[in-house]
Structure 1
Amino acid sequence: MIVNKTNTKQYQWGNNCNSWELFQSKKAIIKEEIMPPLTEEQLHLHKKTEQFFYILEGEATFIVDGKKGVVSQNEGIKIKIGQPHKISNDASRILRFLVISFPGNVNDRINLDQ
């Protein structure tokens, strides 16, 4: 089966950010996400899950372990188990990226105070 944004589970999070679950199993979850300009998620961590973010369009600002960095189009960043992190779109255009979580722990997110 060919997978795309029209035939997968879609949900909205944050301030009009969108996510499409392209693949989900016990081993991995792959999502495509879009963040409008000037949006961000809450600082959080995962106790059992590693993540890899790959930027398809735009520029993402990450805070990982309290350090700020920018990841540009066609670049990626790995988030280790237990690392506090968040992504934001500080630019004036959309941010589109893939996030791959492994293993596929659906409820392995702990939100942290900002």
Structure 2
Amino acid sequence: MIKSIQNSEHYKWGNNCDGWHLLKTDSLSVIQEKMPVGTAEQQHFHTHCQQLFYILSGTAVFEIEGDILTVQAGESLHVEKGRKHLIKNQSEEVLEFLVISEPKSHGDKTVL
């Protein structure tokens, strides 16, 4: 089946951020997310899953274990399981990205 944000399960998170489940299985999750200007998620970690963030548009700022990393559209960042991290949008444009989790991250999030 061809999937897009038009025909995928949608959810809201954080401060008016959006997510769409493009693939939702126990072993693999692919979500397209959108973060408005000035939004951020809480610092957290995943005990079991690793994640790859691929930036579709905008600029993401990640904090990973105290390091600050800026990731541009067309770039990706791998976050290994157990690493404390967060993503934020400090730019002047909407941030859109894919987050690919193996296994799924839902139910495996510890907020700090």
The normalised TM-score by structure 2 is 0.97
Structure 2 gap segments, 5+ residues each: none
Superposition CA RMSD, Å: 0.8
Q: Which residue of 1 aligns with 2:110?
A: 110
1:35 equivalent to 2:25? Answer: no
Q: Which residue of 1 aligns with 2:61?
A: 61
Q: After superposition, where does 1:65-84 map in structure 2 within 5 Å?
A: 65-84=65-84
Percent of residue pairs bearing the same amino acid type? 38
Q: Which residue of 2 aligns with 1:50?
A: 50
Secondary structure of the equivalent of 2:23?
strand
Question: How big is the shift at 1:105?
Answer: 4.3
Contact kept? 2:46, 2:105, Cα under 8 Å: no
Question: How big is the shift at 1:8?
Answer: 1.0
In structure 2, what residue type is equivalent to 1:37?
Answer: V
The normalised TM-score by structure 1 is 0.95
In structure 2, what residue type is equivalent to 1:30?
Answer: V
Q: Which residue of 2 aligns with 1:87?
A: 87
Q: How many residues align?
A: 112
Contact kept? 2:45, 2:83, Cα under 8 Å: yes
Distance 1:57 1:105, change over 3 A: closer
